[in-house]
Amino acid sequence: MLKIAAEGIAPRLAACCWIGSSSAQSSCQKIAPQAAKATQKYLTQSQALLKKLVIKDHYEFDQKVINSDNPVIVNFHAEWCDPCKILTPKMLELLENSSEIDLAVIDVETNLDLVETFEVKAVPAVLAFRNGVVVDKFIGLVDANSIETLIDKLKRKQQQKQ
């Protein structure tokens, strides 16, 4: 809704609802597709943000990854790491239509205990968790096909579980 209001569509739609004239209804019909498109874009962006879990400490890791009902792909990254800046958005894009897998992002600079626990030696390091256990991993920047294979593997096992 904020996105629509920012674009100035919401005030025009509200005016259409309150004014009963045929010209208002006509302009409302013209604006409605724009509003629908803006709403869809906003919801898609919101869903992507909800999928990305930012882990700040070991307690959050336990709550959001280890105790998760969904499989979770954990991305150990650093702000100074250029491959990390490519990998995280790519994983979010590939997970965009998947409601059954979450992405957790862990900054290695502020979570040294998790780095030590999972023996992260280089970034980006990606670990796939299911039921609190690491089931797959890769290190470094990989191509989209490798990420898709990991996602598909997690989806298949999730469907078998159900």
**44 contacts: CB under 8 Å, gap ≥ 6:** 96
126: left (phi over 0), alpha (psi -120 to 50) or beta: beta
Closest CA to 98 of 28, 138, 153: 153
Is residue 16 among the annotated active site residues?
no
Q: What are the strands, taking DSSP E only, across the chain?
A: 52-55, 72-77, 102-107, 125-130, 133-139
Q: CB–CB of 52/103 below 8 Å?
A: yes
Catalytic residue among 16, 17, 28, 81: 81
Catalytic residue list: 81, 84
